Amino acid sequence: MDIKINDLVTFKKGLYLDEEGAVYRVLEINGDRCVLEFVSTDMVIRPQSVAILSELEKLSKREEQK
């Protein structure tokens, strides 16, 4: 499953315990890295960060609907 711009992703389970349950939207891809927007928040301005694509998992359609 290739990750593309606008996909919803999470960090792979067990990789970062403090990130479990956090959902991000991919805003930009540059090589093996990407810019993420934290979407599982009610903040008006959503935080953004950079991540390595190999550390991410794309959410399935079923998980997106939760």
3 lies in a domain? no
Q: Give the C-alpha distances (Å, rounded to integers) separating 55 from 4, 51, 62.
A: 14, 7, 21
Q: What range does the domain containing 15 cover?
A: 8-59
Determine, yes or no, domain membership for 53: yes
Does residue 55 belong to any structural domain of this protein? yes
Of 1, 4, 56, the closest CA to residue 28 belongs to 4
Decide if 25 is inside a domain. yes
- Encode pLDDT of 4-15 as tens digits: 999 999 999 999
Looking at the 3D structure of the chain, how many domains does it have?
1
pTM, two decimals, is 0.86
Per-residue pLDDT of 15-56, as tens digits, reads 999 999 899 999 999 999 999 999 988 999 999 999 999 999
Query: Domain for residue 66, yes or no?
Result: no
Element (H, E) at 63: helix 61-64
